[in-house]
């Protein structure tokens, strides 16, 4: 990549079931314990699956002015909170920046649909006067990036994509490209999801996509394990501050890692099942590595999508083998959804944040709950206490419904 427009991660904001903020996320990873629990946000007894990754300790007014917080649904609250944390972490005062050179890109699967569900119930039981007056401004997915712009005065490129479970990674890739093209100098990019409501949750339960390990929730999300029986739905958000490298270094910004490649493909196969041969998932990885001018042999860590579903995990294993060949058995690999479940459109952003953090702090998180490896998922995993080390290059995979495949490549900041 040319020195002219390189992109670095200078700030991380996180709202996750294992912790809040960059330090909360890191400490949650170091505990090596799952945060999945029995659902408390609603009564799940109507469904076979009754476990989720809930954000238990989030207080909106810790991050948002009280009157404004009351007008926002949980999806947008997560978005603004994660963004504020990321800006603080980057030591970036947007009041001193040209607002036209600062943009926002976000991703989500369901946006504010859960808030719409709650208000539809109020409409049916009480009437129109019980409906939130801000409903029309909260249910659309674009509320995420638009609320970032409004809250922080960013008038640069702005978009929220709705590309299911890959959308957070896509938003980060789009933010990266906006800086490389010269459309912006700073992009606030990530994903947010607040889907824990009966109809949103039930839609996935009905198609039997989720784990029913209700008697042992902390072991329900188990990427690549032979006993996995579906994903565990979660909520959360993560936002990265992406900056053009030379200006970040000039202001003495803390740098986690360089973001240097993005790949995006589609299986064109099925709305829920991945393409069995994994060919397009492999192509997304190859494209990301190609844009980064990185060979497979330079990659030291892969954060797998690892959704803990019967079909996705072996397909991803196959795709990684197609790209890395025999090297696939030597690269460090882990799937971190065992910690917090699958936060849909936020997952790719959370996992990008984990890669950037691991690159700077020198420790790779394990695949928790991997007890009996599936023979179809035979690549060696980081397990146990994790692994010390600072790989030069890290790869993050995100795949989603509709056959979406996204990959991000990070390089160690001092590499």
What residues are annotated to the active site? 165, 305, 342
Q: Which residues contact 67 (CB under 8 A, 6 or more apart)?
A: none
Contact between 301 and 388 under an 8 Å Cβ cutoff? The reply is no
Residue 187 tokens read as 């992009």
DSSP state of 231: B
Q: Are strands 102-107 and 158-161 parallel, antiparallel or unpaired?
A: parallel
Give the three-state DSSP class for 50.
Answer: coil
Closest CA relative to residue 329, chosen from 365, 360, 302:
302
- Quick check: helix, strand or coil at residue 395? strand
C-alpha count within 13 angstroms, C-beta hemisphere, residue 339? 28
CA distance 277 to 267: 10
Q: Which of 352, 341, 359, 364 is nearest to 398 (CA)?
A: 352
DSSP character for 326?
G
Q: Rounded to whole angstroms, how far apart are CA atoms 326 and 375? A: 17
Residue 124: partners with Cβ closer than 8 Å, 6 or more residues away: none
- At 306, phi and psi to the nearest 5? 40, 65
344 touches 110 (CB < 8 A): yes
Burial (CB count within 10 angstroms: exposed 0-12, middle 13-18, buried 19+), residue 3: exposed
Closest CA to 394 of 246, 257, 224: 257
Give the position of tokens 């810790």. Answer: 62
Report the alpha-carbon distance of residue 71 to residue 82 in Å, rounded. Answer: 17
């Amino acid at each position: 990549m040319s020195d002219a427009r390189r992109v670095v991660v200078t700030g991380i904001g996180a709202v996750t079931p294992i912790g809040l903020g960059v330090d909360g996320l890191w400490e949650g990873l170091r505990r090596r314990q799952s945060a999945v629990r029995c659902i408390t946000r609603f009564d799940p007894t109507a469904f076979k699956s009754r476990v989720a990754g809930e954000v238990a300790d989030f207080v909106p007014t810790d991050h948002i002015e009280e009157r404004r917080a009351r007008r926002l649904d949980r999806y947008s609250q997560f978005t603004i909170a994660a963004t504020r944390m990321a800006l603080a972490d980057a030591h970036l005062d947007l009041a001193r920046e040209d607002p036209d050179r600062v943009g926002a890109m976000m991703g989500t699967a369901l946006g504010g649909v859960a808030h719409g569900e709650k208000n539809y119930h109020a409409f049916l039981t009480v009437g129109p006067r019980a409906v939130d007056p801000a409903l029309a401004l909260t249910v659309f997915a674009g509320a995420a990036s638009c609320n970032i712009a409004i809250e922080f005065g960013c008038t640069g490129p702005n978009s929220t994509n709705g590309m299911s479970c890959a959308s957070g990674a896509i938003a980060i890739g789009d933010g990266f490209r906006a800086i490389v093209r010269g459309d912006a100098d700073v992009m606030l990019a990530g994903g947010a999801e607040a889907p824990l409501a009966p109809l949103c949750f039930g839609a996935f339960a009905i198609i039997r996509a989720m784990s029913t390990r209700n008697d042992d929730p902390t072991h329900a999300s188990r990427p690549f394990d032979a006993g996995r029986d579906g994903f565990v739905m979660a909520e959360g958000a993560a936002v990265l501050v992406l900056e053009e490298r030379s200006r970040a270094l000039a202001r003495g910004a803390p740098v986690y890692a360089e973001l240097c490649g993005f790949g995006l493909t589609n299986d064109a196969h099925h709305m829920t099942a991945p393409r069995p041969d994994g060919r397009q998932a492999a192509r997304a990885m190859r494209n990301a590595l190609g844009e980064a001018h990185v060979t497979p042999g330079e990659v030291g860590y892969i954060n797998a999508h690892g959704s803990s579903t019967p079909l996705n995990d072996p397909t991803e294993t196959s795709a990684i083998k197609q790209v890395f060949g025999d090297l696939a058995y030597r690269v460090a690999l882990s799937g971190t959804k065992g910690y917090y479940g699958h936060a849909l459109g936020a997952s790719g952003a959370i996992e990008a944040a984990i890669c950037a953090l691991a690159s700077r702090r020198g420790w790779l998180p394990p695949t928790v709950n991997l007890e009996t490896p599936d023979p179809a998922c035979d690549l060696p995993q980081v397990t146990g206490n994790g692994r010390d080390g600072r790989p030069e290059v890290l790869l993050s995979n995100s795949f989603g419904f509709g056959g979406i495949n996204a990959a991000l490549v990070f390089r160690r900041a001092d590499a």
